């Protein structure tokens, strides 16, 4: 079974405000994306491929409300807090934090945890305090993963190495897996591999052999969990990624990188058709 994820980041901000959104008014944005993709996605079998869309929190309700008629599409949150409400205990003292049960109540069934942008943010906060312990970041993410599973959510857990870490990638990725998934019911988890050193303008994309090597490593360390390519599934690399047996899917973000840069539903569907070979 394949797993295709969509991380919509902050693509909802209009162009006139410095963002990339030109497809729909902000209030309709989440619903627009679901409504303009769900029919095409439903043409794939439920045992053939799973689709998950991770949206900014403001759009979860409208996206979930547009799900009628979809069969293999799920809505997810782009992160959760490491603690949650408990019956007879803390019933909501989480100002500014979204908990697992909160996003579950909004209609989510999955959550994205450990994305390189989240890891960078946590490291930045720690740096302000004079600390730089990456193992501490992994421990915090482990709390988030466990909170997500306890709330009834599945998890796409992201791992990846920076340019400075690439020579010791086995140590870095090994700790991200070992610490991040400690005491976790991994039947609820899939892994997204982000080669951070190869992502962004002017960077050389990771090659097939390198991606396959990492995917094999992850499967060996996790007992065969699904591995998605998190470095950006695109039309240009879809066929190559589909040819790697150890890769079970990919993570899509932007669909257009030149001209009117942004996310476009029809181009998202084209990426999927290319990857699936139909």
The DSSP 8-state label assigned to residue 253 in this structure reads -
Positive/negative CA dihedral, 205, 173, 9, 123? negative
Q: What are phi and psi of 145, to 5 degrees?
A: -60, -45
Q: Which residues pair with 249 in a beta bridge?
A: 3, 228
* Number of helical (H) and strand (E) elements in the chain, helices listed first: 10, 8
Q: CB under 8 Å to 260, separation ≥6 — which residues? A: 22
Q: Is 194 a catalytic residue?
A: yes
Residue corresponding to tokens 């405000």: 17
Structure tokens, 158: 């992201």
Residue closest to 248 by CA, chosen among 263, 271, 230, 236: 230
Going from the C-alpha of 220 to that of each of 23, 108, 194, the distances in angstroms are 42, 30, 17
Q: Which of 3, 35, 115, 118 is catalytic?
A: 115
Residue corresponding to tokens 């390519």: 229
Q: Which residues pair with 110 in a beta bridge?
A: 76, 154
Q: What are phi and psi of 24, to 5 degrees?
A: -165, 155
Task: Work out the widest C-alpha separation in the chain, in whole angstroms.
Answer: 54
Q: Is 35 a catalytic residue?
A: no
Structure tokens, 190: 């899939």
Kindly list the catalytic residues: 115, 194
């Amino acid at each position: 079974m394949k797993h295709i994820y969509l991380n919509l980041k902050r693509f909802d901000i209009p162009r006139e405000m410095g963002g990339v959104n030109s497809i729909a008014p902000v209030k309709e944005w989440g619903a627009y994306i679901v409504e303009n993709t769900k029919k095409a996605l439903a043409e794939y079998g439920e045992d053939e491929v799973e689709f998950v869309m991770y949206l900014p929190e403001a759009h979860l309700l409208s996206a979930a409300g547009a799900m009628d008629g979809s069969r293999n599409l799920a809505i997810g949150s782009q992160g959760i807090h490491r603690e949650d409400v408990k019956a007879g205990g803390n019933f909501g003292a989480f100002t500014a934090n979204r908990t697992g049960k909160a996003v579950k109540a909004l209609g989510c069934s999955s959550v994205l945890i450990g994305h390189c942008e989240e890891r960078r943010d946590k490291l930045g906060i720690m740096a302000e305090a004079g600390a730089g312990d990456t193992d501490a970041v992994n421990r915090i993410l482990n709390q988030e993963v466990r909170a997500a599973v306890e709330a009834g959510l599945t998890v796409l857990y992201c791992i990846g190495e920076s340019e400075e870490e690439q020579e010791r990638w086995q140590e870095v990725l090994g700790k991200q897996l070992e610490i991040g998934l400690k005491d976790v019911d991994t039947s609820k988890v899939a892994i997204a591999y982000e080669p951070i050193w190869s992502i962004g303008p002017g960077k050389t994309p990771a090659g097939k052999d390198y991606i396959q090597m990492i995917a094999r490593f992850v499967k060996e360390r996790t007992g065969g969990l699904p591995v998605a390519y998190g470095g950006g599934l695109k039309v240009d690399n879809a066929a190559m990624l589909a040819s790697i047996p150890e890769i079970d899917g990919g993570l899509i973000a932007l669909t257009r990188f030149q001209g009117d840069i942004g996310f476009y539903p029809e181009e998202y569907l084209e990426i999927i058709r290319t990857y699936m070979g139909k």
